[in-house]
Chain A
Amino acid sequence: MNTQFAIFVFLALATLIGAASVALSRNIFWSAMGLLSCLVGVGGLYVMLSADFVAITQLLVYIGGVLVLILFAIMLTSQIQEISVSNRSVGLVGGYLIFFVVSTLLSFVALWAPWRLTSKEPVANTTVALGDGLLGTWLLPFEIASVLLVATLVGAIVIARKEVKSDS
């Protein structure tokens, strides 16, 4: 049990430190590296909740996709070479206000919400459970997801195409 707790602390620290460096780092590329640490940490936490498929999806979609997208976006930011300009703190008062309100709220929720504890054994093969769920209970959402994906694809292309055209 102790080892599990140690791993949990390690993963939670990786997540928190990563998240903090996303917000606090002055170099925007280093913020992205913080995001990497944060995402890997969250993936590890999924594993600790015996959600293996979700953890791998986290690795595949968030690190392989979203993080790389963000790295590309960073390289597209104007004046990336002048790091102090690229990441100036704007609106400090408002930022601190939002930070304190949101973090207080989240801490209250985390501490006082009546979390349901189950003593159930973890699902042996989560992929099969997910597949059965997507074919049964969640059949309609699954199909709607495909429409959503196409909408995302078309929308992203239309918006990005404007950018491509405007600078070439």
Chain B
Amino acid sequence: MGYQFAAVLAFAVMAVLFALVVLMVGRLLRPRFPNDDKLSIYECGERPVGSAWYNFNPRFYLIALVFIVFEVDIALTFPVVVVYAAWIEKGLGFVAFVELILFTVVLLVGLAWAWGHGDLEWIKKLSESPRKTDRSGLVAPTARPGV
């Protein structure tokens, strides 16, 4: 098993090396004439207004939270799923079945709760809120939420 993960390490190293070598070779070949306009940040041809490092809509944070819960669910379920066939052969399939069903149903109740309370709606807030948000769901730069 150590060797298998050594392969993972080797692949990661090779991925970095590949990009590095090509970029290094390119460095010798490519032109380099920087000027202020070229190095400015693209903002539809205008001079950029302020920095882009400002706050955005916390809805994305909510998605990440929900994601972690389901990801832990997947990580916990995978080992049981792997031995499911073996337990059926052992004649204990019903134990595994009841356990997995219970586990899944409890989690689905959580999902249904979030759905029922409208937390899976993406644009609900758009119609309710007086402040304009753009299509991407990001609050406009001047809004500065959380300040």
Contacts and interface: CB of A to CB of B under 8 A. Distances in A.
Interface of A: 4, 7, 44, 47-48, 50, 52-53, 55, 57, 60-61, 64-66, 68-69, 72-73, 75-81, 122, 127-128, 130-132, 134-135, 139, 142-143, 145-147, 149-150, 152-154, 156-157, 160-161, 163-165, 167-168
Contact of A168 (B66, B106, B117, B129): B129
Contact of A81 (B51, B72, B74, B76): B51
A19 B55 CA distance: 26
A167 B145 contact: yes
Contacts of B58: 76, 160, 163-164, 167
Given A65-B64, A168-B129, 7 more contacts: A47-B5, A60-B74, A75-B55, A143-B106, A150-B109, A160-B62, A168-B57
A79 to B, nearest CB: 7
Interface in B6-38: 9
Given A128-B83, A153-B66, A156-B69, A78 B146 contact: yes
Contacts of B104: 146
Contacts of A72: 60-61, 64
Given A131-B79, A131-B83, A168-B125, A161 B119 contact: yes
Contacts of A68: 64, 67
Interface in B67-126: 67-69, 71-76, 78-84, 86-87, 92, 95-96, 99, 102-104, 106-107, 109-111, 113-114, 117, 119, 125
A116 to B, nearest CB: 22
A156 B55 contact: no
Contacts of A130: 79
A139 B98 CA distance: 11
A167 B67 contact: no
B120 to A, nearest CB: 10
17 contacts: A47-B5, A68-B64, A69-B61, A69-B67, A75-B55, A75-B56, A76-B146, A78-B147, A80-B54, A127-B78, A128-B86, A142-B76, A142-B103, A143-B106, A146-B104, A149-B106, A156-B65
A147 B55 CA distance: 33
A157 B48 CA distance: 35
Given A127-B82, A160-B62, A168-B125, A65 B67 contact: yes
A134 B59 CA distance: 34
Nearest to B51: A81
B75 A131 contact: no
A165 B125 CA distance: 8
A64 B72 CA distance: 11
Contacts of A168: 57, 125, 128-129, 131, 133, 139, 145
B106 A132 contact: no
Nearest to A135: B96
B94 to A, nearest CB: 11
Given A76-B58, A143-B102, A127 B79 contact: yes
